[in-house]
Structure formats: structure tokens, C-alpha cells
Structure 1
Amino acid sequence: MPSLLVNIDVPDVAAAEGFYVRAFGFTVGRRIGPGAVELLGAGVPLYLLQKAAGTPVSAASSARRDYGRHWTPVHLDVVVDEVEPALARALAEGATVEGPIREAVWGRMALLADPWGHGVCIVQFKGRGYDELISPAT
């Protein structure tokens, strides 16, 4: 069975560690050299990898790392008990909110960007969570 690791490139591992620990309550697992740290508490390990802005994203691409707000189809959803306190912590640590809190039958969600431009959603489930969308309660 495959497993999943999440990696996030950041220009400053120490600053990113502080953000994710203080904003979302992750804990430090291992330090993997001076440019990488493992964060735990999300169900899968989250690795912060120091990569300077402007460096190539791969040997096969001409794209360069840019830590301004950018869109990608992959983002983090951080599941919390309550949106407002988690959002307040994230904003205090430098996140940028990208709209009002959204309400849905499955729960509530706040969209934001971390200080390095990565998309992050804060999700609070209610009732049966996503199952509210697919099957009636029994």
C-alpha cells in the first residue's frame, strides 16, 4: 500500500516551521539537515524544504521558484474544531485571508495563503462532514 508525504518548498525553513507550528499546532518530528524539517500532527508527515526563490523547480523545467501568491491545483486543507480561532492564529502568524468564511452543508471553510504564497484552507466539518453530500443520514 502506498503512503503519502507532503513537501512544501519555502525560502526560510525556520520561519515556515514557526508559522505552521504556531498557526496550526503541528509539532516538530525530525530535523533533516539544516534545510529540512518534518512536522507531525496532520495524519501524514509535512516536510518543509528550504529552496531559495529564483532557483529552478527541476532540471527539466525553465520555471523558477516564486514565493509570491501563486495558484496551484494542489493545496493544504487543515481540519480544525473551529474555524475562527484557527484563522485568527494563522493571520497573526502572517497568513493572508482570501475571502469570507464559507458555509456549506458539510461544514465551514476559510481560504488563505501562507506567508510564502501557498494556498491553505481551514476546514471545520459539521454533521457527517463530506458524507452530507453523498448519502442520507441513517
Structure 2
Amino acid sequence: MMRWSHVGLNCADQAATEAFYTRWFGFRRARVVRAGDEEVIFLKSGPVYLELFASATPPAFPAEKDGPTHRGSVRHLAYQVDSVDDFLAAARGELTVTLGPLSFDEFIPGWRTVWVSDPDGVVVEVSQGYTDQAPEELAAA
């Protein structure tokens, strides 16, 4: 079953972008993921998520594989599925995979992702297993 997940945004200033969407659009932190020096912030409002990337930091993945990295741009669109492997099997090689599938078990057990390209080159992330962070963990983030 395919479900809308989020839009990844590249930010010149993550804190300013988070404050903007929190103040004006009712978003709240749902998860913070740290990988080396990179921090990715997930914001949530109802069922809608934004994934905030700091565009000043080098991307954790090869350039453009998970979407463009220049600030002020949409990095990728994202969907959740029950199984990335089932999604890829159903595609029968008809999709252009730009990255993955990759496992993010170090952050969330069972979190797996693949990135594909649409006909216009827009990167679409397809993931399984994402969950929000517990409130007490967010307080410490």
C-alpha cells in the first residue's frame, strides 16, 4: 500500500526554516537523525512531514542521488510502503533507481529506502519502517 510521506527541503539555515514552519504552519519536530556531522530534521503537522537538510553540509550520499542539494530547492518527494522489496519487484525493472535500497537500522530498526527518478528527473524516495522519535528523545535532541 502506497502512502504519502514527505517533501525533503534543502535549507540555508535549518533552524530558521524549522522556526518558520513551526510558527506559521503548525509543524513540530518528529525526529532528528544525526549521521556524522550531518543532521536531518523531520517536522510533522497532522499526517504531513517535511524533511529538512542543511544545504551547507556535504551530502551523505553521492551528489544528486537522493535529489538536488542546492539550498531553497525541493530535494525529493517521498512515499511509504510496507515493503521496499515488494515495491521494486512489482516495478519489474521499469524504474530508474538512483540510490539504494539502503538500510537505516542504526536509526530505526527496519527502516529501508530506495530512491528512483521520475520521467522528468525528479527524485522520489520510497521507504518502509519510518517512525517518529519518542518525545523524551526529542527533548534531548
Q: TM-score, normalising length from structure 1? A: 0.38
Larger radius of gyration: 1
Structure ranking higher on relative contact order (CA contacts 8 Å, 6+ apart) = 2
Q: TM-score, normalising length from structure 2? A: 0.38
Q: Normalized per residue, which structure has more strand?
A: 2
